[in-house]
Structure 1
Amino acid sequence: MSEEQSQFQNWEQVIVHFFETKMAQSKLYKANDYVKKKQQEIKPEKDSKKKDKLISAKNKKLKELQELRGKAPLTEIREWLNKITDKENKKAPIKESHKISKATHVLKFSHSSAEAASIELKEKSDDLLLTTSSLKKRLVFDLAHNDGALISISRFLGLSLHQTQIVDLINNNEFDFLKAFKANDDEFNNWKEVLKNVVHLAEIKTADKAKQIYFPLTTPSQQISIKDTVYHLITPLFPSSLAEELFLTIDFIKYGEEQKSSKEQAKQEKDKPARYHPNTIINYTNLGIQNFGGEYPRNVSMLNADRGGRAYLFSSQPPTWQSQLKAPVDKESLFDYFSTPSLNNDIHYLREYLLRFERLGLSIKDPTREEWIVSKVQEDNENGFSSIIDEVLFYVGSIQNLRPGWTDIESIKLKDEHQYFLDPYRDDKAFQNQRKTRDWQSVIRHDFAQWLKRKLAGDKQFTPQHEHTRLWQRLFATPLREHCEMIELKPENTAEETQA
């Protein structure tokens, strides 16, 4: 990942900062880490003597760190460069066979045993597709290597200053960035030679381990040589640069302080009627994670190591199928059509609730207990009954928003009382007169109770009684009446506007 910082004026500062923050074995890193830990210990410390002691220790190490920064170019950084480029040392990280190349697409994501082949995207492609070139800002380039032991060197080559990486300088045969660290020309020339040999320009080629699938775009009747055949690449190389951009964006949204604060506030205020937060809360649904490299993600590439081998995947599932709402014209009762994915669970909860009464000897047949049972069912939102009522009335509301007059067909089998309930805006004087004068709500209550009774009887452990049917009618009466009152207050043209 890029180490470019706006405060850095030259390569010496960039590389010193790299050793201080990324090279865990360096003296710079250890001193900087000590200072940060002491700073964390100082903040919560309340004992003044202990706090003064911590501050003194931090300041002492900070002074040492500042001295190390001045000495590092000609000491440990120079020593590290000599170590990695020592051609006589068989344990040196860089071998003659080692290769590192700058890339946007890396072959080793397709197969861990593949060579470190890679492609560096430079040309703009079709904006109609989401590709690496779709990124509107400067790409974050990956570095592909054929040995995980090269990870520190790849990170070094990936350092950036003024939008130029060290790997670019080496490819352009520009080595002045190393002059601040040399003690003599001999070691400087050796650094140049070894680094030049290990850095390779990415080239377009494939291999059997790339797992790529090419589909010919010619017909059997065309007599074209294999060389001239045009193919469509169905399985392209893994876009590491695009994956990095997505990873950084999603990680910031999932774990950034601003989003964490917004989500925490929303969680605390979830029960308040009016909630507001100046920041937008973003969630990625059905987000997948693919891992590359197993226990050794550094064997794949530099960016893969920095991501811990993880890459986010957006869901490509097709939309969930939702059946079109159909007018209930082929059966006598609206309840014969009603079904939702959660209905069975709600029925189960209600059945268990009633069985609990039976086990406690609280018979619904006892008139003296009826009022108590009614109040318990109404008050307890966990028994499933209130959810059943809500789902029924939601379904009814959806039907009532269909085009007015949908019941005015000869072939309709729906009861008249159900028509009055479900088609309240039908433009028919005779229909509306009947709707206003007949007691159709009692039929709806009765049919609801019979439907619920059949649903509850689906389990052999529970046998609904006549008293249960009367109970459901009574409990449904108030929600039904309130719903119908709202319908009467609703302007008659609302349903037509909904359809338009």
Structure 2
Amino acid sequence: MEILTERAQAFRQAITAFIDGRRDAKLKGDDNDGDIAAKYEYGIWLADAARRVNQIQAVTHVLKATHPDARGSSLHLAPINLPQHREIGSHLLGDTFAEDIVGNAAALDVFKFLKTEVEGKRLFDWMQEADADLQAALSADAETAQEWMQAFSSLIRAESQPVSHVAAKQLYWLVGEEPTDNAEYQLLQPLFSSALAHKVHADIQAARFGEENKLARQARRENSAYDGSYHDYRGLVVRKLGGTKPQNISQLNSERGGVNYLLASLPPHWNTSDRIKVLNVDSVFHSFYFFDDVAELLKALSSLLLSDPDAVKATREKREALAQALGQQLALFGESIRFAQEPGWSQHPDCRLPQCQRLWLDPERIELLPREEHQAEDEQFNAAYQWGDWPDEIAGYFASWLNAQLHKTGLTTVGDAEYTYCAKQAIVDADGPVSLQHRAPGGVA
């Protein structure tokens, strides 16, 4: 009489429940089909599963995801054993990764069986640890049980000689110094990391359909407060693998319905400050038109003036608001350049900007020690900054630039006093009192 420990009985019950579930799904309520029922007898099904397990293989990197007709090797590489690079990759998954299955799709039920959990771990994991209670639960015959344990454990196996295929993607990578020498290249075959793709898919699905993001989107629609975070992936593209039969690629691909997300791979959106030339130009105002909202504000102002509005309070207030907005853009324009450049950049021989623009855009230069060979020039720069009349000159440049832009739209006579005032005020508010007082000797601006 077979005597099992309590723990072995738990394994036996879990295995029996799985096999019975498969049988019931196959019979679909027709309990009179004895031939089908016989195949799902405990020992008969396990023996068949142990035979069929060699038709599938546990992997992390799937070849068929590259091309469905590829017949080469897929690999099982535990992420924790991969080189730990700074870049994002499979190595970041650590111990928490999903193993994929490739091979005969008709044998995928064997993997589902091995995923059955007992005490929080898969049967497959217990088999790899040669668990004695699990082995006893498989069969009363010790030799048969051991054979089945070894067969099921072979789900992860390394090929002695990995094989590529004509349908696999390959590339030549230069490993030497001479690109004209064919011997200096290494032939590489990139493999699709199904484990990483599955993790990315799960994160994106959670962002798109997760409860937390649903609540955040609902709060936005209702214009109500939401105490939480919101995640979004924009510019996604879906790559369908396997067509109508995603299981032919792999098990995880089938679970995803063949959906594999591609993140946006687009040219970077350059910061405006990166495109503002400060060397080899006579004025930075050549770039001001392309800064942030300047073009839109300029268009709105010219449209207002060209419409010849009535000289009433509403017209004056609208014109003042646009002038102030342009002045604020000028202050932000200056700040973006100061943020993007290292202090002292205006000392460069190729800097041809007027002195007032150098003072405006390179104020931290005064905190640098004067250069021995240019001491007089640097001292003059510091004195001019402390004198503090450069905002007037910048405002004058702004007014001249603005009038030139408005003249291009067909306006012939435009006063510049208002624009000069708004520009100077914006610059002084953003750059003047605090910074000037901070830098001026004795606290006098």
TM range (shorter): 0.5 to 0.7
Match of 2:314 among 344, 354, 372: 372
Contact 1:116-1:144 at 8 Å conserved across structures: no
Q: Structure 1 312/432 Cα, relative in aligned 2: closer, same or farther at 3 Å?
A: closer
Give how far 1:126 is off: 1.7
Q: 1:205 maps to what in 2?
A: 162
Q: 1:487 maps to what in 2?
A: 431
Structure 2 letter corresponding to 1:431: A
Corresponding residue SS for 2:202: helix
Q: Structure 1 432/495 Cα, relative in aligned 2: closer, same or farther at 3 Å?
A: closer
Q: 2:254 maps to what in 1?
A: 305
Give how far 1:397 is off: 2.9
Q: Aligned equivalents of 2:25 and 2:203: distance in 1?
A: 31
State the Cα deviation string for residues 296-323 of structure 1 (Å, max 9, x = none): 2122111001112123445666765553
Structure 1 letter corresponding to 2:259: R
Match of 1:141 among 99, 105, 108: 99
Contact 1:215-1:233 at 8 Å conserved across structures: yes
> What is the number of equivalent residue pairs in this alignment?
392
Q: 1:243 maps to what in 2?
A: 197
Give how far 1:207 is off: 3.2
Q: Structure 1 376/102 Cα, relative in aligned 2: closer, same or farther at 3 Å?
A: same
Q: Which 5+ residue runs of structure 1 have no aligned equivalent?
A: 1-7, 31-67, 87-91, 221-228
Q: Aligned equivalents of 1:118 and 1:411: distance in 2?
A: 57
Alignment of 1:397 onto 2:335: yes
Give how far 1:132 is off: 3.5
Q: Aligned equivalents of 2:243 and 2:324: distance in 1?
A: 50
Q: Which 5+ residue runs of structure 2 have no aligned equivalent?
A: 1-8, 367-378, 441-445
Q: Aligned equivalents of 2:129 and 2:429: distance in 1?
A: 79
Matching of residues 234-383 of structure 1 within 5 Å = 234-262=188-216, 265=219, 277=227, 279-284=228-233, 288-314=237-263, 323=274, 327=278, 330-331=281-282, 333-340=283-290, 342=292, 345-346=295-296, 349-350=299-300, 353-354=303-304, 358=307, 363-364=308-309, 369=311, 371-378=313-320
Q: 2:58 maps to what in 1?
A: 102
Give how far 1:99 is off: 2.4
Q: Structure 1 206/18 Cα, relative in aligned 2: closer, same or farther at 3 Å?
A: same
Q: Structure 1 318/478 Cα, relative in aligned 2: closer, same or farther at 3 Å?
A: closer
Q: CA RMSD in A?
A: 5.6
Q: Aligned equivalents of 2:437 and 2:37: distance in 1?
A: 83
Matching of residues 120-135 of structure 1 within 5 Å = 120-121=76-77, 124-128=81-85, 131-135=89-93
Q: Aligned equivalents of 2:176 and 2:359: distance in 1?
A: 63
Corresponding residue SS for 2:200: helix
Q: 1:52 maps to what in 2?
A: none
Give how far 1:150 is off: 5.0
TM-score scaled by length of structure 1: 0.57
Give how far 1:268 is off: 6.4
Q: Aligned equivalents of 2:156 and 2:344: distance in 1?
A: 75
Corresponding residue SS for 1:293: coil
Alignment of 1:465 onto 2:409: no
- Larger deviation: 163-172 or 333-342? 163-172
State the Cα deviation string for residues 243-293 of structure 1 (Å, max 9, x = none): 2233224433443323444565577679xxxx884x554445665543311
Contact 2:243-2:258 at 8 Å conserved across structures: yes
Contact 1:98-1:146 at 8 Å conserved across structures: no
Q: 2:401 maps to what in 1?
A: 451
Contact 1:297-1:305 at 8 Å conserved across structures: yes
Q: 1:47 maps to what in 2?
A: none
Q: Sequence identity of aligned pairs in percent? A: 22
